[in-house]
Structure 1
Amino acid sequence: MDKKPELKTPTKHDLKKFTQLLWSTNISKSLIAIGLTGSIITTLTQLLIPLATQQFIDGIELDFFTPWMIASIVGIFILQVLFSGFSNYILYKIGQHVVAGLRDFLWNKIIKLPVSFFDRYASGEIVSRLTNDTSIVQNLISSFFPQFISGVLSITGVFFILIIMDWQMTLVMLTAVPLALALTRPLGKRMAKVSREMQDETAQFSGKVQQTVAEIRLMKSSTAESAEKEKGERNINKLYRIGLKEGKYIAIIGPLIYTLMMGVMVFVIGYGGVRVARGDITTGELVAFLLYLFQIIFPITTFMNFFMQIQKAAGATERITQILDEKEEEKREGKSVSIDNLPIKFENVSFSYQENKEVIKQISFISHPGEKIAFAGPSGGGKSTLFALLEQFYTPDSGRIYVGDTPINEISLQSWRSQIGYVSQENAMMSGTIKENLCYGLPDTEQPAEERLWEVLEMAYVKTFIEQLPSKLEEEIGERGAKLSGGQRQRINIARAFLRDPKILMMDEATASLDSQSEKIVSQALNKLMKGRTTFVIAHRLSTIVDADKILFIEEGQLTGMGSHEELYEKHTLYQLFANQQLSKD
């Protein structure tokens, strides 16, 4: 098992990357200015409250209790509430804007990444980065950042006022600062490390949960509930233990800071009482000093949370930037070539997923327009990889693929893929309605009329079934088409291919997972779809490809035989063995 990388406290470089990422979302500088102005006014009104209280108390002693004083105090409180609410909303809006920008960046990046990226990362992990990691940044910007700004302004203002009011008591109070740092800094570092560990484990757990839920039918059919229960409990217990560790540090840091601040307060009250008795300060001034001390205590406690959260956010930023730094699928704005009546040629094509492990080795062949080309051979030989190269999910390490005389890599990806119809054995569907699945990928300007949809459904032998559904084309089919049978999903996929009128048709074991009745209907639809089109077929069952114009037999990435069924049966020993095993049963 690979050793997990050691968790580290974010460096200045990490925090710089975090700041750069935030600014890249085009935060409105005017909104920031408005939010900070609101925070400054809020802080000023908060700073006036103790002074007003001082005047109130000293006014009672001096028989200076007037309606104007009461109105002033009430007015200050109202202003503080209004400006505090306004500035917090503006800063919250900035936070939401940042997170929306980050998610927009990530989503646009993810859908532009090559297939090779998704070979390396589990879907659950990618989703976790898009949701959980951006939520951490959201919490920092929307919740902790406003408190931090208000706290900094408040502490700065309070400090200057306290120096002016009574520098001696202020110095007494400040002696607690180095003591607080000495006690809490080591604990804070450890807690930041535990928080990052919790963050990583939560992301992994989310990914595993998503994977299990996505394959719930596999779990049920494999009676794997007990195994999944145990794995889930192990992960939950791991999160529980990390959470307890995090709670332990919180339990220590909180009371430490509270006790320290209460000690300072008691000392200030005692020392202040002596100064009141001596006539150095008034009772109102002592009360005001204590109120200012309260205004310092709350920000200090929130600072600890803020710095822990910023370290979490730096960790989340690291994972977000990993995706943003990934190389996108090459966006080729090459030629728009119509591939009607053009041959497709593989010329000495080799490819490897990993260095020095070729899965396709020096394969060359040519398909003429309208031909049916079949790929046969043992599992794992490289047939699906040839399809992936033809779709341009991957680029050959050496050799070239041509359409006519044009190398495939000189054709626009949009132009190329829009002319290919792909029907796989997984009969992939998106959650939503039948209509949405039929039109999936078509721009709004090219949405077909409903009559055309019914036409292609009839061509795919699925019209009658859909007409019997309560909502017909607007019928919801569930996640991955769970409410439909395999044959129904496959026929809707074929109808989708009819709708696009592809020049090239690619079929990967298109009837392999169907029962005999469904296979017969789907085969009829496929035969209709193949007519007049260049067709590439992957099939383990030779009975589905004996009529192919050309069969390519692939073994361990090499083309070991090519020809019609009769030619291969005569010349290729392994193909003959396959045919004897399969066709005799049929």
Structure 2
Amino acid sequence: MALNKTEQRKQKSNWRGFLRLLMGANPPKLLLSIALGLSVIATVVSLVIPLFTKNVVDNFSLSSVSWWQVSGMALAFVTSAVASGVSTYLLNYAGQRVVAGIRDRLWKKLLVLPVRYYDNHGTGDTISRMTNDTAIIKGLIAEHTAGFITGMISIIGSVVVLLFMDWKMTLIMFSIFPIAFLILFPLGMQMYKVSKGLQAETASFTSVLNRVLSEIRLVKAANAEPVEYKEGSDGIQKLFKFGLKEGRIQALMSPLIMFVMLMLFVVLFGYGGTRVASGAITAGQLVAFMLYLFQIVMPITQITQFFTQTQKAMGATDTILKVLDHEEEDPHAGVAVKDASQSLHFEHVNFGYKEDEAVLKDVSFTMEAGKVTAIVGPSGSGKTTMFSLLERFYAQQSGEIRLGAEPIDQYSLVSWRSQIGYVSQESPLIAGTIRDNICYGLQHEVSEEALKRASEMAYANAFIEELPQKYDTEVGERGIKLSGGQRQRIAIARALLRDPKILMLDEATSSLDSKSEVVVQQALQNLMQGRTTLVIAHRLSTVVDADQIVFLDKGVVTGRGTHQELIESHEMYREFAAQQLQIQEQLIAEHSPVYAQ
């Protein structure tokens, strides 16, 4: 009994959530009212048709047929058809409007969810919320809601008329429905469980597809096709099994509904025939009775489909609301940054992606305004995490990061992030043109002169002008049509165009060949002039030139100073410098003909 109460509470909660989701999408209420009103008119008119038929059968002769009867039946048919057609179109329109509203809310929400949300949710799973789940809700509104409402009106109207015509036959008919309900209800509950499982598995399979297809070059380079085929095939088989379960339930439901219909027809024809023979009812009444029976039985199929789709929609609503109710960032909350040309201070900063796993421990140092600070240390020491905290992708668990005297979390995200330029080892590009990528994220129109000036300072203009379509050249997905050096220079041009006061460089030349590195280093020198710069350093050349070096080991700052100061005082830094010097000598020896030229 407790389980039943729990299920009932869950059902009520699902319905409340569904209604909240619909209201949040701002459905066209007037349009929906008109559509449902027309559906009701079409149904009510169709209830009159069997009464015309009764009179025609009971008084069948050419002389007894009057034009007003023929005209009335024709008008009833036409009215029902037109009202039904217009209603279907309006409901589809309303359904599309609602799903567009839900998708708009979802899309807006996805853009303001914190980075931590995406750390814990697969891309494919999130895409499934936007596409598959919203389509299920649209199907319920556009295709099944009208059928349910008109079906209920048809059933109630037909039952009322039948009770007036012959209450005994009507009661016999109703004696069969409880049996059908006892059989079909458990099947409906099973369909709900299968539908939820199918939705979850579809989202998981979409996630696999998204991951594999977006990194198809890695898959091929690693000869991972067999591994990925097996994972994808497993997903297909799981979907297949869920589909079979759904098919088995439907295979049971359809014959059972047919069995109920046939049983009704046999019983009513047998009993009705005896009543016609005894003169209790006329042949016309029996025909009308059977026509009304059709108007009861046929909507039952629609109502069954409505409840099946409703169960799917409840599952979809649950997953969509989890996204919509998730804590979000407010990009405009806070004050604007007035002067970003100030020193940045890390003061006793502690942070971990999980509560019990610290990545940064009591980190304190100052980035002097307009100077270069290099972060050095072994892999996994927390260097990239510092960048994430500065970008405010995450909030430190304790301590403070200040710009001048003010904590950075008092500034709005929009204002704060507009002060920062970030160039990484693998500078991301969007699918689009070179112009789209350089101007990406800017809210104002960029003049051709400003675009070319930024490109020239980034040493990108030369190669762009050689391309057939110049700035309108398509870069491909993730910039795959460009070389690594070209992508880096476009990223630097993008940063220059934003004119940031704070610059973060994740050693943007470490993955380039020597020729590209020289050009990109020159572009970076242009970018760094007069800006507060934080560099994740992997190469000695970057470290030697830095105004300050911070050595980070396992999340702890173990040394601060210039290159010479750390060489003299920090053992691990001396090892780092010696390794870098050895690597540099090897590269010079390997490429000596190149340098000689």
Give yes or no for TM over 0.5.
Answer: yes
List per-residue Cα deviations over 1:480-501 (Å, max 9, x = no partner).
2222222211111111111111
One-letter code aligned to 2:346: F
List per-residue Cα deviations over 1:417-460 (Å, max 9, x = no partner).
111111112211111222221211111xx211122212211221
Report deviation, 1:350. 0.9
User: Paired residue for 1:473, among 468, 471, 488?
Assistant: 471
The answer on 1:456 being equivalent to 2:458 is no
Amino-acid identity (%): 49
| Contact preservation (8 Å) 2:374, 2:542 | no
Give the distance between the partners of 1:551 and 1:59, measured in 2 at CA: 105
Q: Which moved more, 1:63-72 or 1:405-414?
A: 63-72
Instruction: Tell me the secondary structure at the aligned position of residue 527 of structure 2.
Output: helix
List per-residue Cα deviations over 1:520-571 (Å, max 9, x = no partner).
2111111111111111111222333321111111111000111111111221
| Contact preservation (8 Å) 2:349, 2:361 | yes
Instruction: Tell me the secondary structure at the aligned position of residue 400 of structure 2.
Output: strand
Give the distance between the partners of 1:321 and 1:502, measured in 2 at CA: 37
The answer on 1:403 being equivalent to 2:439 is no
Runs (5+) with no aligned partner, structure 1: 1-6
2:161 maps to what in 1? 161
List per-residue Cα deviations over 1:293-349 (Å, max 9, x = no partner).
112122111222211211111111111111111111244533322334311111111
Q: How does 1:90-109 map to 2 (within 5 A)?
A: 90-109=90-109
Instruction: Tell me the secondary structure at the aligned position of residue 432 of structure 2.
Output: coil
Instruction: Tell me the secondary structure at the aligned position of residue 366 of structure 1.
Output: strand
Return structure 1 stretches of 4+ with deviation > 4 angstroms. Answer: 7-10
1:529 maps to what in 2? 527
CA RMSD for the aligned pairs? 1.7
Instruction: Tell me the secondary structure at the aligned position of residue 352 of structure 2.
Output: strand
List per-residue Cα deviations over 1:207-250 (Å, max 9, x = no partner).
11111111111111111011111111111111111211111111
Runs (5+) with no aligned partner, structure 2: 1-5, 585-597
Instruction: Tell me the secondary structure at the aligned position of residue 553 of structure 1.
Output: strand
Q: How does 1:179-190 map to 2 (within 5 A)?
A: 179-190=179-190
Give the distance between the partners of 1:65 and 1:111, measured in 2 at CA: 68
The answer on 1:579 being equivalent to 2:577 is yes
One-letter code aligned to 2:170: T
Q: Which moved more, 1:357-366 or 1:461-470?
A: 461-470
Report deviation, 1:80. 0.9
| Contact preservation (8 Å) 1:43, 1:153 | yes
Instruction: Tell me the secondary structure at the aligned position of residue 554 of structure 1.
Output: strand
| Contact preservation (8 Å) 1:8, 1:193 | no
Q: Would the alpha carbon gap of residues 270 and 218 (structure 1) be closer, same or farther in structure 2, given more than 3 Å must change?
A: same
1:125 maps to what in 2? 125
Give the distance between the partners of 1:297 and 1:431, measured in 2 at CA: 54
- Count residues with an aligned counterpart: 578
Report deviation, 1:515. 2.1
1:359 maps to what in 2? 359
2:590 maps to what in 1? none
1:505 maps to what in 2? 503
Instruction: Tell me the secondary structure at the aligned position of residue 422 of structure 1.
Output: strand
2:547 maps to what in 1? 549
Give the distance between the partners of 2:413 and 2:424, measured in 1 at CA: 20
1:482 maps to what in 2? 480
One-letter code aligned to 1:388: S
Instruction: Tell me the secondary structure at the aligned position of residue 559 of structure 2.
Output: strand
| Contact preservation (8 Å) 2:347, 2:400 | yes
| Contact preservation (8 Å) 2:367, 2:534 | no
Q: How does 1:180-259 map to 2 (within 5 A)?
A: 180-259=180-259
One-letter code aligned to 2:552: I
Q: How does 1:273-352 map to 2 (within 5 A)?
A: 273-331=273-331, 333-352=333-352
One-letter code aligned to 1:545: V
Give the distance between the partners of 1:380 and 1:287, measured in 2 at CA: 82
TM-score (norm 1): 0.95
Report deviation, 1:8. 7.8
List per-residue Cα deviations over 1:155-192 (Å, max 9, x = no partner).
11111111122212111111111010111112221122
The answer on 1:31 being equivalent to 2:31 is yes
Q: Would the alpha carbon gap of residues 48 and 469 (structure 1) be closer, same or farther in structure 2, given more than 3 Å must change?
A: farther
2:591 maps to what in 1? none
TM-score (norm 2): 0.94
Give the distance between the partners of 2:432 and 2:167, measured in 1 at CA: 69
1:13 maps to what in 2? 13
2:595 maps to what in 1? none
2:52 maps to what in 1? 52
Give the distance between the partners of 1:472 and 1:282, measured in 2 at CA: 86
Give the distance between the partners of 2:289 and 2:28, measured in 1 at CA: 38
Give the distance between the partners of 1:130 and 1:280, measured in 2 at CA: 60
